[in-house]
């Protein structure tokens, strides 16, 4: 049975509200975490690249560009910045010396641990301040499903 036009519109509105909230929360988390001087500050493009490299160690720059939708020039700029910050290492591909492989550094892993701890504190405090109980596992399930759908 197909949803009615009115149900579909309401569903679309809720998804638009969800996207708006995700963006708003992302900005707030990023802004508040930026005040922590122990963290290496990354641009949004650098965060996108690091996220992909963290989940796909030993990946080529062209694979990162394809997976993230970044243009090669933007990716090159982000990689230069990440290398300068000591977050990414390039090594020669043993099967093709013309290609480089990208991996995160121990400094990047340490920074990610600190970032995640700061995020957990920030969001934990926000939830506590809301005075409400929420099902975080369900929220994570929904957001992961959306991520999988977007990066298919």
Q: How many CB atoms sit inside 10 A of residue 152's CB?
A: 5
Mean pLDDT score, 102-117: 93
How confident is the model at residue 10, as a pLDDT?
66
Residue 112 scores a pLDDT above 60: yes
How confident is the model at residue 92, as a pLDDT?
92
How confident is the model at residue 33, as a pLDDT?
77
Residue 121 scores a pLDDT above 80: yes
Residue 140 scores a pLDDT above 80: yes
Average pLDDT, the chain: 89
Nearest to 102 by CA among 62, 151, 42: 62
Q: What is the pLDDT of residues 50-87, one digit of tens each?
A: 999 999 999 999 999 999 999 999 999 999 999 999 99
Q: Are 72 and 115 in contact (CB under 8 A)?
A: no
How confident is the model at residue 66, as a pLDDT?
93
What is the per-residue DSSP string for 30-41?
HHHHTT-TTSPP
How confident is the model at residue 37, as a pLDDT?
82
Largest CA distance in the chain: 57
């Amino acid at each position: 049975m197909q949803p009615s036009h009115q149900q579909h519109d309401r569903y679309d509105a809720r998804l638009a509200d969800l996207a708006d909230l995700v963006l708003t929360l992302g900005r707030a988390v990023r802004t508040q975490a930026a005040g922590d001087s122990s963290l290496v500050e990354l641009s949004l493009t650098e965060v996108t690249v690091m996220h992909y490299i963290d989940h796909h160690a030993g990946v080529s720059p062209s694979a990162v560009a394809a997976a993230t939708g970044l243009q090669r020039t933007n990716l090159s700029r982000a990689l230069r910045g990440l290398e300068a910050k000591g977050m990414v290492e390039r090594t020669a591909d043993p099967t093709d010396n013309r290609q480089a492989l990208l991996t995160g550094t121990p400094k990047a892993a340490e920074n990610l641990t600190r970032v995640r701890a700061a995020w957990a504190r920030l969001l934990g405090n926000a939830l506590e301040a809301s005075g409400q109980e929420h099902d975080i596992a369900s929220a994570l399930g929904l957001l992961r499903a959306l991520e999988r759908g977007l990066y298919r």
